[in-house]
Chain A
Amino acid sequence: MHSKQARFLLPVSLEIDGAHLIFVGGGRAIERKISQVLQLMPQDIEASMVPSITIVAPQILIAIKNTLLADQRMTGNYNLIERGFKPDDLDQLLGPDVYQLVWAMTSDSSLNQSIGQLCRHKGIWCNASGNRSFRQGAVLNQAGFLLNVQSLDGEHRLDGARPAAAGALRDKIKEFLCTCPL
Chain B
Amino acid sequence: MYMPFMIQIRKAVVFAGERGEGLQKVEKLSIYADQVLVIPEKHCDYQEILFPAGPIVHGTEILEFSSAKTAKVQAKIANKNNYKQAIKGADFVCSDLLDRKLNQKIFAYCKKKGIRCNVIDTKDLCDTWFMSLIDVPGMLVGISSKGGCAYYSKQSRQELHEQIRARGQMSLALVEVKEFIKQANNKMDGPTLGLSVIPTLAKVYNDQTFRNFMAREQNQDALEYARSIVAAPTGGQ
Contacts and interface: CB of A to CB of B under 8 A. Distances in A.
A11 B142 contact: yes
A148 B4 contact: yes
A67 B112 CA distance: 32
B4 A41 contact: no
A89 interface: no
Contacts of A7: 8
Interface in A139-182: 139, 144-154, 156, 158, 161-162, 165-166, 168-169, 172-173, 176-177, 180
Given A42-B1, A136-B5, A150-B6, A145 B146 contact: yes
Interface residues of B, number: 55
A29 to B, nearest CB: 16
B91 interface: yes
Contacts, number: 188
A148 B131 contact: yes
A51 B1 contact: yes
A145 B159 contact: no
Contact of B167 (A100, A136, A172): A172
A172 B141 contact: no
Interface of B: 1-9, 28-29, 31-33, 66, 91, 111-116, 126-131, 133, 137-146, 148-149, 152-153, 156, 159-160, 163-164, 167-168, 170-172, 174-175
